[in-house]
Amino acid sequence: MFAAKEIFFDRVGVKENHSRARKLVYARTAFANAFKGYAGPSEMGRVMGKDHATIIHYKKVHSDNLKYADYRELFDKAIIYAVDVVGQEETHKLDSFLLLKLIKELRQEIRILKENNDKLYIYKEKFFKLKELL
| pLDDT one-digit tens code per residue, 9-21 | 999 998 988 888 9
> Is the pTM here over 0.75, yes or no?
no
| pLDDT one-digit tens code per residue, 29-79 | 999 999 988 888 999 999 999 999 999 999 999 999 999 999 999 999 998
Q: Are the C-beta atoms of residues 8 and 81 closer than 8 Å to each other?
A: yes
> What percent of the chain is predicted at pLDDT more than 90?
47
pLDDT category of residue 98 using cuts at 50, 70 and 90: low
In terms of C-beta density within 10 A (0-12 exposed, 13-18 middle, 19 or more buried), how is residue 87 classed?
exposed
**Domain ranges for the chain:** 1-93, 95-134
Residue 122 identity (one-letter amino acid): I
Q: Are the C-beta atoms of residues 53 and 47 closer than 8 Å to each other?
A: no
